[in-house]
Structure 1
Amino acid sequence: MDTLLERLKAFNQDALPEMVPLKYEAMAENPFRFFRGTCHLFYEDLAAAEPLPLSPLAWICGDLHIENFGSYKGDNKLVYFDMNDFDEAVLAPASYEVARMTTSIFIAFDTLGFDHKKALKMAGLFLKTYSATLAKGKAISIEPRTAKGIVCNFLQSAAKNSYKQLLKKRTVSKKKSIMLSLEDERHFKLNKQLRDELKLHINEWIKNSSDGPYNYKTIGTVFRLAGTGSIGLKRYLFLLKSTNTKNKYLLLDMKQARSSSVLPYLPVQQLQWPTEADRVIGVQQRMQNVTAALLSTTVFRGDAYIIQELQPAKDTIRFKLLENYRDMYQVIDDMAALTASAQLRSGGMQGSATIDELMAFGTDTAWQEKVIDYAQNYARTLKQYHRQYVKDYHAGKYVINSTENQNNS
């Protein structure tokens, strides 16, 4: 097998060369950040390991971990807490999703300094609630009226965030107008040709797409840096201004969609989606109870992109900010119920198991111990990977010497 260095470099070789160093820097931060940036390693190793217990096929987000849940405003104007990243979404054994999520619990809790017994208890809680929710056969959703504890507080706080606050963070005022800020470390200037092409493209999308916002025009765009695993993809942020309402603005995110990193290791036939972006939002729409507003796709310069509104209500619960174990218990319990609910909601759709089959899987809990064992062992492997990675990173082995395009095109 190739070395860790070779595996990571091979996976990132097609990413934007000027952005990959930022991804490598983020991955060196701690084992959990490394885990977030190496979804491909997880599935490559899973395929080479002793198989997990048999499980029904389900639609999965593919990169499930404790920070891939968060708040967002649905197209019905309510704020929800749910899975929020579907870039790696595929049809796969249901156990793949819970194995990755359970592994993330062990890695995150260790990174945060919690003892192993607490992590083990939380992993057990996740699988217990996940199974119980499947066994009931009824999907749930979480919004402010149904949320409990820390999640309720989180959603209530997210609902209060205003567009004015979001614009203040992302823009600067100049001569009675506003523009996207280049002071933000996540924003990068684009060359004029690309900037003009992007503005024209989004204006055409607004005019011709039924998903687009009415009566808006693009007044600015920058390259946007966000996430960990997606660093190195082409991603742009647009500032739109209403053409019929004074001082009304909208922020749009446009992110390149690439093939799922789970796909090479799946013995399961997949749907033939029109584009990778259609795959992402297609699975998202069937797994979430209510999808986010202004969710759409487009193709620019031959690449497929996901378009979505940048919302003031969109946020992720950051576990390092949770003050006590009880708060974590409630959050993990909710995440487990939502994971099962997403699989139930999409049950019986184009190859996924029926709700009856998912209920039977939830009732038979004999598989849980093997998933826990795998997750614990892989968490230890991941820590070893991270130690080797940090050593190689500081030795300069991940330095990219490239004079390729520096304009994020």
Structure 2
Amino acid sequence: MVNRDDGHRSSDVRDIWKLIQAFDRQRNPKILTQKYIKMRKNAFGFFRGTCHLFYRDLPKEWELNLAPFVWICGDLHLENFGTYKGENSLGELRQRQVYFGINDFDEGVLAPCTWDITRLVTSIFLAADSLGCNRSDLNQLAQVYLTSYTNTLIKGRIRGIAEDNTSGIVADLIKNSSQRKRIDLLNERTELNGDRQLKFDGAKILKISTQRQQEVIRAIDNWAQSQASPAFFKVLDVGFRVAGMGSLGVDRYIILVAGKGSPDRNYLLDFKQQSASALEPYLTRVQPQWKNQAIRVMNAQQIVQSAVPALLAAIEFSGTSYLLRELQPTEDKITFNGRISLSQLAKLVDTLGEVTASAHLHGSSKFGAAVVQDLINFGRNLEWQPEVLIYADFYARQVQLDYQDFCKATQDLY
């Protein structure tokens, strides 16, 4: 059972539903309903939606808490990797191409590298149904991930995963993503009714009040005045955006802007409220004093990714902070449907290990993170790997118990 010093030692003495409700108390109740329905689907979905429980349960006195401190994703699991178009500087040249990497930094903080690693390995053990794997296969995949992670650390080499330097499922995903055009994304999320406007489908894009729409427009317009091309960000339409899992219920908007010209060169933006990291209560290392939470998330992404999106901005709005970014047609993630062979999964997990290690290496020496040599030394010491496997296996079983408790508590609600 989970062993912490706060009086909550197992699923039979703690109220999981109460803990979840307390964490989500400030979120939109209507959208939270959708989150909880998704979490009821399986234990992996429950795990995705309860990052805060993972860190609440992580032992305070744990040898792996002494691992090198790096900039971590914080919510690393199998489905928080994907494709995106990043901007890479080569001398005076700027290249934009599609990369594969970590795609969620809402919880990003300075913490032991083992926290990312252990959460990812736990997600492997919980994804048996989605992966179509037995217990032996899962153990093999977990070891492949750890071996790839350590081998990448030992080399001390960082590379962005792109179509020309990878293979298998990831290469196919990048290739398919690269072929998608902005007009396709526009046609999917918007419609032409004289002018282009958002497609309010009642599921992914919801209507908002006129007052709130005007407030969002003013915030974007005020920020745009400081940009090189303010006309690019002229707002044409705004809706409430429903997306993701762990962040469902936070304030989030999809914004249609003029871009490079209507109707086919418009752009779509994501404008998302950023709250304190779920890891914050459990951090032992002093963090940088960011001005607001959106700046924390933006900097975590810029620190970790070797090629970052061209548009990433922190904006203060409605008494808090929001992150503004471009919605790209090239964004996609791996779909786990049980039809991927074990050899393909092993290659994929090998890539995830490299991506994780590269992210940790890329953030080395920045804002208090460990230096590269410390990470190389950590990679050479294999004694910590069995500890990760043991705890991840144990905690996956705990998640299964928590999931059952959650389903029982919500069976008459959702």
CA gap 1:247/1:391 in 2 versus in 1, 3 angstroms: same
Q: Supply the AA of the counterpart residue of 1:27.
A: M
Structure 1 residues 123, 43: closer, same or farther in 2, change over 3 A? same
Deviations 1:51-87 (A, max 9, x none): 5363111110100011111000013320000101000
Alignment-derived partner of residue 53 in structure 2: 41
The answer to whether residue 223 in structure 2 is matched with residue 205 in structure 1 is yes
Q: CA 1:321 to 1:295, structure 2 compared with 1: closer, same or farther past 3 Å?
A: farther
Q: Aligned with 1:42: secondary structure?
A: helix
Out of 333, 336, 350, the position equivalent to 2:367 is 350
Match of 2:66, SS? coil
1:57 to 55, 62, 69: 69
Determine the C-alpha separation between the residues in 2 that align with 1:9 and 1:153.
40
Question: What is the alpha-carbon distance in structure 2 between the residues aligned to residue 235 and residue 359 of structure 1?
Answer: 39
Partner of 1:338: 355
Matched, 1:135 2:177: no
Bigger mean CA deviation after superposition, 10-19 or 313-322: 313-322
Give CA deviations for 1:3-45 in whole Å, capped at 9, x if unaligned.
1122111101111222221111111111111111000000000
- Cα 1:246–1:238, aligned 2, differ >3 Å: closer, same or farther? closer
Give the structure 2 partner of residue 314 of structure 1. 331
- The reply on whether 1:154 has 2:166 as its aligned counterpart is no
Q: Secondary structure at the match of 1:145?
A: helix
Pairing of 1:204-243 with structure 2 (within 5 A):
204-209=222-227, 215-242=232-259
Q: Within 2, Cα distance between the matches of 1:310 and 1:329?
A: 30
- Looking at structure 1, the residues matched to 151 and 231 of structure 2 have their Cα atoms a distance apart, in angstroms, of 44
Question: What count of residue pairs does the alignment treat as equivalent?
Answer: 395
CA shift, 1:247, in A, is 3.7
CA contact (8 A) 1:213 1:294 kept: no
- Please say if residues 260 and 266 of structure 2, whose CA atoms lie closer than 8 Å, have aligned partners that are also in contact: no
Match of 1:170 in 2: 189
Measure, in 1, the Cα distance between the counterparts of 2:71 and 2:237. 37
The percentage of aligned residue pairs carrying the same residue is 36
Of the three residues 169, 194, 198, the one matched with 1:180 is 198
Please say if residues 16 and 233 of structure 1, whose CA atoms lie closer than 8 Å, have aligned partners that are also in contact.
Answer: yes
Q: Are 1:110 and 1:116, in contact at CA under 8 Å, matched by a contact in 2?
A: no
1:40 counterpart letter in structure 2: H
Report the CA distance between 1:240 and its aligned residue: 0.8
Q: Which amino acid aligns with 2:72?
A: I
In the TM superposition, what are the counterparts of 1:270-285 in structure 2 within 5 Å?
270-285=287-302
Letter of the structure 2 residue corresponding to residue 347 of structure 1: S
1: CA distance, partners of 2:28 / 2:202 = 20
Report the counterpart of residue 214 of structure 2 in structure 1.
Answer: 196
SS at match of 1:273: coil
1:110 CA displacement: 4.3
Q: Answer yes or no: is the 8 Å Cα contact 1:216–1:243 preserved in 2.
A: no
Deviates more, 1:316-325 or 1:256-265: 316-325
Cα displacement (A) at 1:382: 0.5
Which has the larger displacement, 19-28 or 35-44?
19-28
Q: Output the aligned Cα RMSD.
A: 1.7
Q: What is the rounded CA distance, in whole Å, between the counterparts of 1:207 and 1:309 in structure 2? A: 18
Are 1:30 and 2:47 counterparts? no
Q: Is the alpha carbon distance of 1:172 and 1:102 closer, same or farther for their aligned partners in structure 2, counting shifts above 3 Å? A: same
Q: Is the counterpart of residue 377 in structure 1 residue 394 in structure 2?
A: yes
The 2-side partners of 1:356 and 1:215 are apart by 44
Task: Point out where structure 2 has 5 or more consecutive residues left out of the alignment.
Answer: 1-7, 9-13, 88-94
Query: Where does residue 405 of structure 1 map in the other structure?
Result: none
Looking at structure 1, the residues matched to 257 and 306 of structure 2 have their Cα atoms a distance apart, in angstroms, of: 28
Deviation string 1:286-313 (CA, Å, 9 cap, x unpaired) is 1101001211110111110111100000
2:191 is paired with a residue whose SS is strand
* CA gap 1:158/1:243 in 2 versus in 1, 3 angstroms: closer
Q: Do 2:304 and 2:360's aligned partners in 1 also have CA atoms closer than 8 Å?
A: yes
- Aligned equivalents of 1:359, 1:20: Cα separation in 2: 42
Aligned-partner Cα distance in 2 for 1:3–1:263: 22
Amino acid at match of 2:407: V
Displacement, 1:244?
5.4
Conserved 8 A contact 2:65-2:112: no
Superposed displacement of residue 107, structure 1: 0.6
Select which of 344, 347, 369 maps to 1:327.
Answer: 344
In 2: Cα distance, 1:318 partner to 1:380 partner = 24
* Structure 2 letter corresponding to 1:170: R
**TM-score with structure 1 length normalisation?**
0.93
* Distance in 2, Cα, partners of 1:58 & 1:83: 15
Per-residue deviation at 1:245? 6.4
Q: In structure 1, what is the Cα distance between the partners aligned to 2:203 and 2:335? A: 20
